[in-house]
Amino acid sequence: MLGGGSWATAIVKMLTENADVVNWYMRNTDAIEHIRTQKHNPNYLSSVEFHTEQLNLTDNINEAVANADVLIFAIPSAFLENELKHLTVDIKDKIIFSAIKGIVPESSLIVGEHFHVNYNIPFENIGVITGPCHAEEVALERLSYLTIACADTEKAKLVAKHLSSDYIKTKISDDIIGTEYAAMLKNIYAIAAGIAHGLGYGDNFQSVLMSNSIREMKRFIKRVHKMKRNINDSAYLGDLLVTGYSVFSRNRMFGNMIGKGYTVKSAMMEMKMVAEGYYATNSAHLIVSKHKNKSKTPILNAVYEVLYENKSPKKVFKELTEKLD
């Protein structure tokens, strides 16, 4: 496990239900020492208590990678490449699963494609872990569902087996590109839902916004990776709904603050957590611009205008209401 945030902590909790030992890398040495002595992460999901004999904690990324055959990354996409630069251990024969919801800014690629292009990892050794699933509900052991995607379904089944428990149900998929783009896009639409809420729009508008969001997501993903998929499956529609509506959604919270008048910088400082959708918005906008397809993504365009062009949320969303149906 590579990452020390809430999602990484939740995944380690899932893994320790089945694995004897989990190698866990995080940069924060104070957090590592706290987990060793107090048995919980002091910064994220602190209610989760670990059996420390099951954890091989380290702040050395090469040590963690060398000791594992399967690597699960949950480092925010904006900071992933900076961490990977410290790697001296060869990872080309490792099985890599991404639990990251975003695009790597240095390459403008989703995480799986980034590993394939820049680290020569074959696609059959790359997978995705996606929701609908919030870390906070995993901590509470509320029934949750994960989609595990990999071109090699046997590897997906292997990871799914290690994540499954009484409170975690898993489903296998071979749509690694589509599920990863969906995991990125739903954060953007959750920001839109948050902005709308912050501006005072009610549940009636939110339902129309989510309905249009899933259709916009379908058009976007079909454009970048055409294959047969059911956009109403949990990995797409389900993940969108929980991120757009849940009180645990940091992207919705971020959008809500923007709608209430916060600047991007002040909202991020107050949250003290990364809202992946902020970075994803810029990356997705670049992809849409490349494909010359902006007329098909009015919600994405609206969020981009608010976050990156400093346009008035009230004015932008008033214009957006005329483009939805």
pLDDT tens, residue by residue, 103-119: 898 888 999 999 999 99
Q: For the whole prediction, is pTM greater than 0.95?
A: no
**CATH superfamily entry for domain 4-173:** NAD(P)-binding Rossmann-like Domain (3.40.50.720)
Q: Is there a binding annotation on residue 101?
A: yes
The predicted structure's pLDDT at residue 294 = 65
Tell whether residue 79 is among the known ligand binding residues.
Answer: yes
Given this model, what pLDDT does residue 16 score?
97
Q: What is the pLDDT of residue 9?
A: 98
Tell me what pLDDT residue 271 has. Answer: 86
| 219 is known to lie in a ligand binding site | no
Quote the distance between the C-alpha of residue 133 and its chain's center. Answer: 10
Buried b (16+ CB within 10 A) or exposed e, 99-134: bbbbbbbeeebbbbbbbbeeeebeeebbbbbbbbbb
254 is in an annotated binding site: no
Residues of the chain with pLDDT under 70: 292-294
Active site residues: 186
Residue 224 confidence (pLDDT): 86
- H or E segment at 117? helix 111-119
**Residues spanned by CATH 1.10.1040.10 within the chain?**
176-320
CATH 3.40.50.720 spans which residues of the chain?
4-173
Flag whether 187 is marked binding. Answer: no
Q: Look up the CATH number of domain 176-320.
A: 1.10.1040.10
